[in-house]
Amino acid sequence: ELKVEQNPLFLSMQEGKNYTIYCNYSTTSDRLYWYRQDPGKSLESLFVLLSNGAVKQEGRLMASLDTKARLSTLHITAAVHDLSATYFCAVGYTNAGKSTFGDGTTLTVKP
């Protein structure tokens, strides 16, 4: 069974601090997505990572992929309140016809 585990599931942090969200998956993947979801809204695609060692950055968010460890990280640098949201990772498998989502990490950034 394909499994995608995110941790932590809940994260409360102070503005200006750094933190990392982890996404572990159980089977070799073809690609990995990170999404953001604001309360009451749909999911928005942030990053897609295609190969081992891939790194993508936008603003204060940086995502990386280690396919050998089956691990992706979403690093938050100098958090600001606007980053408060739920972040999901999802893993795609070409032969599966569908992707598998983690349970999401709810991030709250406090002043």
Partner 1 sequence: DVKVTQSSRYLVKRTGEKVFLECVQDMDHENMFWYRQDPGLGLRLIYFSYDVKMKEKGDIPEGYSVSREKKERFSLILESASTNQTSMYLCASSLFGGWGISDFGEGSWLTVV
Does 83 participate in binding partner 1 (rule CB under 8 A)?
A: no
48-to-21, 56, 72 alpha-carbon distances in Å: 16, 8, 11
77, 62 Cβ separation under 8 angstroms: yes
Does 51 participate in binding partner 1 (rule CB under 8 A)?
A: no
Among 73, 77, 99, 108, binds partner 1 (CB under 8 A): 99
Can you tell me the distance from the alpha carbon of 78 to that of 41, in angstroms, rounded to the nearest whole number? 25
Does 22 participate in binding partner 1 (rule CB under 8 A)?
A: no
Residue placing its CB nearer to partner 1 in the complex, 35 or 79: 35
Pick the piece of the chain touching partner 1 (CB under 8 A) from 12-20, 54-62, 64-72, 90-98. Answer: 90-98
Phi first, then psi: give them for residue 57, nearest 5 degrees. Answer: -135, 140
Among 46, 65, 79, 102, binds partner 1 (CB under 8 A): 102
